[in-house]
Homo-oligomer: A and B are copies of this chain.
Amino acid sequence: MKSSFTRRFHANEIFHCIRLVPQISQRDIIEKTGFDKSTVSSVINRFDAMGLVVRAPKQGENRPGRPSEALAISQQSGLLVGVQVELGETIFVASGLDGLPIAQHRTRFGGQVGELAQHVAKGIETVLHMSDRQAELLGVGVSLPGLIDRNGTLLHAPVLGWRDVPVLDLLAGEISTPLYVGNDGKAAATAEHLFGSCIGVKDFIYLFSGSGVGGALFLDGETYLGMNGLAGELGHLKVVPQGRICSCGSAGCLSAYLSAPALCREISAAMGNTVVSFDQIMLQAGEREPVTLAVLEQAGAILGSAVASLINTFNPPVVAFGGDMARAEGFIRPALEHAIGRLAHPRMAEATRLLFSEISVHQPYLGGIALALDGVTGLEGPSVLP
């Protein structure tokens, strides 16, 4: 069952057409993609033979002619599990091949390397039971907060305190399904592309903030990995020469100025009290507490300087912000835009849209699912598509 590259390309495109617009007809797919009708028909016939899609006559189209089909990803076609490992807690989500979550499960996790594999395997088991759907598990995506290379080795995760952990190998020992392990920034960017505001956007730069600052380069329809898979560490762009020491061991990084811990420290120092969480910062900012507002404004300006460099580098149509950056949109956006206007090349800045991610705030658990869906439908490696 070895298909040519173009065939897989077509299949992939058509699959995502159906996923994104359920009840779509072949006619609409032909218009949208520009593929030939016979190509679309044959691909969908194969999808059908594999039980990947369901076809139903389309209702409520009161016009002459043969009614079009309403295509949809089958609920029975297969399951994905997304795993989001964070400090203290792990989130497990099960979904169908359409990527829509059908069950969720959270457990505490102490962060011991030795327990990771068993802990994840057990969580997957649990969430699969909860999902109550009779279908095969096709793939598992695991999003981790750290630098992960192409071989699936986690090189450094300051938040967890891990170094050089072969996570893919460890997990593969307990989990037999296809396994996709990835950095949380790249996972979040993929989620934004598959489910969020960057659907259909082939090039965008993603930045997000939480316990650290991460990012991803989404170029030409896929996340750019670089030589070892480490590209996109935008949290460690240098913004201040000889600046603050960063958790990565270097100095002057964006992360040292914008991560939640950094902002907490800064506000605490200025106010004399103890601010320990970004929730608290948002609360104080909502009450228009002056020090907090000033620190956030300052953060927006620093972020703007980094984004100006990114705009001058990539000339991207979209720069997307996720996590705490998205939550604080109202407080940082003016300073951010002002800095970009001042520092980026005008012709590029005016063409770039800034986008604050909603899903990264309200559905932060989609990263793992995105890795899994991207993995099982992807053009390289084995794919569940024909």
A-to-B contact residues, CB < 8 Å:
5-6, 147, 149, 155-156, 203, 217, 219-220, 224-234, 236-241, 248-252, 302, 305-306, 308-309, 312-317, 342-348, 351-352
Q: Which B-chain residue is minimally distant from A352 (CB atoms)?
A: B227
Q: Is the Cβ of A343 less than 8 Å from the Cβ of B239?
A: no
Q: Report chain B residues within 8 Å CB of A229.
A: 315
Q: Is the Cβ of A312 less than 8 Å from the Cβ of B237?
A: yes
Q: Is the Cβ of B228 less than 8 Å from the Cβ of A315?
A: yes
Q: Report chain B residues within 8 Å CB of A316.
A: 226-227, 231
Closest beta carbon of chain B to A213's beta carbon, Å: 11
Closest beta carbon of chain B to A179's beta carbon, Å: 22
User: Could you tell me the distance between the alpha carbons of A217 and B205 in the complex, rounded to whole angstroms?
Assistant: 15
The 6 closest A-B pairs by CB, nearest first: A226-B315, A231-B315, A230-B315, A236-B312, A233-B312, A227-B317
Given known contacts A227-B316, A231-B314, A315-B228, A250 and B309 CB-to-CB distance under 8 angstroms: no
Q: Which of A229, A236, A351 has the most CB of B within 10 A?
A: A236
Q: Is the Cβ of B313 less than 8 Å from the Cβ of A228?
A: no
Given known contacts A5-B6, A312-B237, A345 and B305 CB-to-CB distance under 8 angstroms: no
Q: Report chain B residues within 8 Å CB of A305.
A: 238, 241, 252
User: Could you tell me the distance between the alpha carbons of A209 and B226 in the complex, rounded to whole angstroms?
Assistant: 25
